[in-house]
Amino acid sequence: MALLKVRKSKINIPKEAQLMCDKMLKDLERSKRPVLTAVKCSLDNSLYNSRVGYLTPGDKRVKTELNVSSVQKLARTVFMLEVLLNNIDTGAVNTKRELYYMAKGLVKSEKELKPLDFEEQTESDAVIDYICDVLEVYREELNCFANDRGGQTYSKELIVTETLSDGTKATVELGSLGTSPFQPKNKPQALQLKAKKKIDFCLVVESEGTANTLVANGFTKRNKCIVMGAQGVPSNAVRGWCKTIQDQLKVPIYFFGDLDAYTLQNIYRTLKAGSAASLIRNSDFSAPQVRFLGVLPEDVKKYDLLCYDVTTKDASDARSLKKAKDALENDPFFKDKKNKKLASILHWLIKNKVRCEQQSLFSVNPKDPLTTEKIILEKIKRGSYV
């Protein structure tokens, strides 16, 4: 049973895997140490080109050569690869947690395999990620799907069509869902989007709660738009979903979240340009056209927003200041000329030693429940975004 593809990829995974193993076996037959090579997924191997729009891998590679210290890792890799190839063969899909249990089950049934046993899911997750990096494939292409959170979406205009694995189609009109959100799960790239009326913009809100509040207060009724909750650091589903909205609907997307280093780097940058940990998949899991609507330093001033002091005494505050400095120094995204304005926000954060939460907009005029909506619309109209 063929599954919908996440991307148009020419990689034939079973074939690649077989070649890889054959090569390792050949090395061993000649008493040579087999080596596995993987893309180095870290910030120091990330490149950013504003015309490409997302972080891409540099040419650093991590080589794992067989020796007494790596033999466990390699044995686990080959073992898990076999499990995944079997899934591809039968068309079964699993979450990482399920794969963890499947591995445990196999180990239990065959006592020869006992040494491979994973004590915690983090161990099996690491092996799965490693296989992706070696084969340069997406986890989804190995039929492994995370239980992704976030991405709750509200709109009166949007219609989503999903082609199911048996070929039938399901259509969801978001407008008919009331205040319940639509949530894309595993493969948002496989969804077909259509707008009933022209959609003016898409608003991604860091806090899912605030997204829901806006909708409950009539935001989507009054505006031809899409509102989405990111729920913190965007999951693969949220990232892929944003990219799908960007590519299929071609509407401006604005991100609205806290004003601090964490939101800027971990949430916004990941949404817009992907992350260092997912270098090989950023092309399909980032939406480079997303703009940063706020909270901006200028909003703090204009609306006299309530801020928190960030002191070096508090450990988490100190970490966040350090994070801002690190981002400016080491993150190619913030170092790029095109993102000068975003970098200047980080500078501002370091200089003023404050942070401002998205919910602080509710302090501006507490008697009027629509204030936040008004400010957001006004900012979009004024072009007050980065």
Q: Output the smallest distance, CB 314 to another protein, in A.
A: 18
Closest to another protein by CB, 79 vs 101, is: 79
Q: Name which position in 115, 209, 218, 369 contacts another protein (CB under 8 A).
A: 115
- Amino acid letter for position 104: K
Q: How far is the CB of 261 from another protein (least distance, A)?
A: 24
CB 19 within 8 A of CB 245: no
For residue 32, state whether it binds another protein (rule: CB under 8 A). yes
89 forms part of the interface with another protein (CB under 8 A): no
The answer to the question of residue 307 lying near another protein (CB under 8 A) is no
Q: Does 166 bind another protein (CB under 8 A)?
A: no
Eight-class DSSP state of 296: -
Scored b (16 or more CB within 10 A) or e, 240-266 reads bbbbbbbeebebbbbbbbbbbbbbbbb
Of 4, 35, 43, 85, the one binding another protein (CB under 8 A) is 85
- Residues 328, 115: Cα–Cα separation, whole Å: 44
Q: State the binding string over 63-82 for another protein (x if CB under 8 A, else -).
A: ---xxxx-xx-xx--xx-xx
Please say which residue, 116 or 267, places its beta carbon nearer to another protein.
116
| Residues 264, 359 contacting (CB under 8 angstroms) | no
25 binds another protein (CB under 8 A): yes
Nearer Cβ to another protein, position 82 or 368? 82
Q: How far apart are CA 263 and CA 218, in angstroms?
A: 26
CB 47 within 8 A of CB 102: no
Q: Following CA atoms 295, 298, 304, 306 in sequence, which dihedral angle do they give, to the nearest 10 degrees?
A: 40
The label of the residue with tokens 């990941």 reads: 270
Residue 29 or residue 120: which is nearer to another protein going by CB? Answer: 29
CB 322 → another protein: shortest distance, Å?
16
Q: Decide: helix, strand or coil at residue 53.
A: coil
- For residue 216 the two structure tokens come to 């409950």
Interface with another protein (CB under 8 A), residue total 30
Binding site for another protein (CB under 8 A): 17-18, 21-22, 24-25, 27-33, 66-69, 71-72, 74-75, 78-79, 81-82, 85, 112-113, 115-116
